[in-house]
Amino acid sequence: MHLNEIHRYVPKCNRSRRDATQGRTQASPKGSVIEDCRALTREITRKFYAGLFWRAERHCSCYAQEMDAEFATLVSGFGGALLGAVVGGMISWVLARQSAANTARRDKEARNQEQKAHALRLMVKASLVLSDVVAIKNSIDQSLSEANEKGLSHYPFWRRVLPIVSSYQTYPIEASELAPLMEAKANEIVYAATDMLMKHSILVAALERYSEKRGELKKIMKRHTATEDGVLTSALTEDEVAEMAPYEIELESLIKEVRSRLEPIQNLTEKVTYGIGPAIQTHYGDKEFPVFVAAETGQEAPAAS
């Protein structure tokens, strides 16, 4: 109900009140004037609230439509951002995983190269020991052979074996050189390499001692006589013979010790020298890794393939 309708009813109510005051009030067919005013008031109130509710409902409907549009925009934006974040995260994860795999592969390749370098150094070291042992053995055999040809086979070894020329170089045992063989499960080569280097050090020390003692004899034997076949004969007094006795015992012991060690050390060095290459090739799958092969008869040094 609008306000102009309310104004049309208000004068009627005022006239009824004046007539009631003056005693001229007329009876209403539907009841008293007060009841009509109350009914009118209720009707006005009902229509007022009905219009109010209609406006509120219309406003809420418009607001709901606006909220739906804003919510849809919000959801769309949030969904797009979330999808972009997920896709970006997946790409970053894949790239990071690939980068980590590449880094791990490069690190492994670098480590393998380092391990193979250690193994190669040990193999070269073993080949040098082998060459040294073979040279010492050949030198001793040559001295004995020449002495025997001159009819001196009945003399002690120390008188027939001349001082041996050698580098007297020893090689330390390094764990880094044994590590690749242990990783390749070549335990027999590891044991052989360790034993080889230790025994070679003892052999070199014995040779040095033998050469030193052989040189000290020159201070005792001062009178010599040379023969046509190259045999040197020394004249000694009883005192000089007594002075030489300790030297003779030590020199004979040293040269016998050297001769007894040559064959076992040579076997160990051959096992290490010729065994490292195949073991490393098999473990690391590197067919380009060098391999030493046993020298054929008449060759002096092992060949590399």
For 111-164, the DSSP string reads: HHHHHHHHHHHHHHHHHHHHHHHHHHHHHHHHHHHHHHHTT-TTS-HHHHSPPP
Give yes or no for residue 26 having a pLDDT over 50. no
3-state secondary structure of 221: coil
- Beta-carbon contacts of 129 under 8 Å, excluding residues fewer than 6 positions away, are 171, 196, 197, 200, 265, 269
Identity of the highest mean pLDDT range in 102-106, 173-177, 209-213, 268-272: 268-272
3-state secondary structure of 31: strand
Higher pLDDT, 122 or 95: 122
Query: Within 13 Å of residue 191, how many CA atoms lie on the same side as its CB?
Result: 4
Q: Which of 247, 164, 170, 163 is nearest to 204 (CA)?
A: 170
User: Angle of helix 175-183 relative to helix 187-216, nearest 10 degrees?
Assistant: 150
In whole angstroms, what is the distance from residue 203 CA to residue 112 CA?
A: 34
Q: What is the pLDDT of residue 162?
A: 84
Q: What is the pLDDT of residue 235?
A: 63
In whole angstroms, what is the distance from residue 292 CA to residue 302 CA?
A: 6
Average pLDDT over residues 27-44: 61
Q: What is the pLDDT of residue 83?
A: 67
Q: What is the pLDDT of residue 27?
A: 43
**Confidence tier at 153 by pLDDT (50, 70, 90):** confident
The helix (H) or strand (E) run that includes residue 303 is: strand 303-304
| CB contact at 8 A, 224 and 232 | yes
Q: Which of 206, 226, 230, 228 is nearest to 158 (CA)?
A: 206
**Confidence tier at 267 by pLDDT (50, 70, 90):** very high
Q: What is the pLDDT of residue 20?
A: 44
| CB contact at 8 A, 304 and 291 | yes
**Confidence tier at 71 by pLDDT (50, 70, 90):** low
Residue owning tokens 């790239």? 95
Domain residue limits, the chain = 3-83, 114-299
The helix (H) or strand (E) run that includes residue 232 is: strand 232-235
Higher pLDDT, 218 or 82: 218
In whole angstroms, what is the distance from residue 48 CA to residue 54 CA?
A: 10
Average pLDDT over residues 28-42: 61
Q: What is the pLDDT of residue 146?
A: 87
Higher pLDDT, 104 or 53: 104
**Confidence tier at 268 by pLDDT (50, 70, 90):** very high
296: left (phi over 0), alpha (psi -120 to 50) or beta: beta
Structural tokens at position 50: 């009905």
Q: Which of 80, 127, 67, 54 is nearest to 290 (CA)?
A: 127
